[in-house]
Amino acid sequence: MSTYADTSFLLSYFGQDAKTPLAHKHAAGWTQPPRIAWTLFGELEFNNAARALVFVGKLDAGRLGAMQARVREDLRGGILTRTGLPADLHYRTAESISAAHTARLGGRTLDLLHIAAAQTLGAREFLSFDGRQCELATLCGLRIAP
């Protein structure tokens, strides 16, 4: 798997927010489906974050359903690919990243888990709009986009 997308990118790509045009512009450059990893971890994080937007009134239930339908469509079309993520290796990798960087840079556990998922799956490209997470992902050897 060469591409991993975190929740900030996926919410913009599937939703409608200030970063949506940038996410779509990046996607327009795909010459073939990128086969972005869609793990159980990523699915839970995406769905929970989207539902939390409904809770705070930034997204309505109809739009949530439309976003989830687009996810299913992209799974069928090869943009997203269901990908297993070995939990032990995932968490050990996140702990290693934390040990190497958190005391100096700070970092949230979910950020570590996204970066660790990308590394565990062998991704080279990391799609994110989260500046702090991008900084850490760069230190971990990932190429950041968009």
Is residue 72 within 8 A of residue 14, CB to CB? The reply is: no
Instruction: Determine the pLDDT at residue 2.
Output: 87
CATH of 3-145, one of 3.10.180.10, 3.40.50.1010, 3.20.20.140, 3.90.550.10: 3.40.50.1010
- Domain locations in the chain? 3-145
Q: Which of 85, 71, 78 is nearest to 39 (CA)?
A: 85
- Kindly state the tokens that stand for 126: 């990391």
Per-residue pLDDT tens for 8-46?
Answer: 999 999 999 999 999 999 999 888 888 899 999 999 999
Cis peptide before 146 (omega within 30 of 0): yes
Angle between helix 40-55 and helix 61-77 axes, rounded to 10 deg: 160
Instruction: Determine the pLDDT at residue 107.
Output: 87
Task: Output the pTM of the full model.
Answer: 0.93
* Cα distance between residue 74 and residue 86, in whole Å: 23
Question: ∠103-134-58 over CA atoms, to 5°?
Answer: 105
In 1-96, DSSP assigns E strands to 3-5, 36-38, 80-82
Angle between helix 7-14 and helix 40-55 axes, rounded to 10 deg: 60
Average pLDDT over all residues of the chain: 95
Q: How many residues are listed for the chain in this entry?
A: 146
pLDDT band, very low/low/confident/very high, at 1 (cuts 50, 70, 90): low
Average pLDDT estimate for 133-144: 96
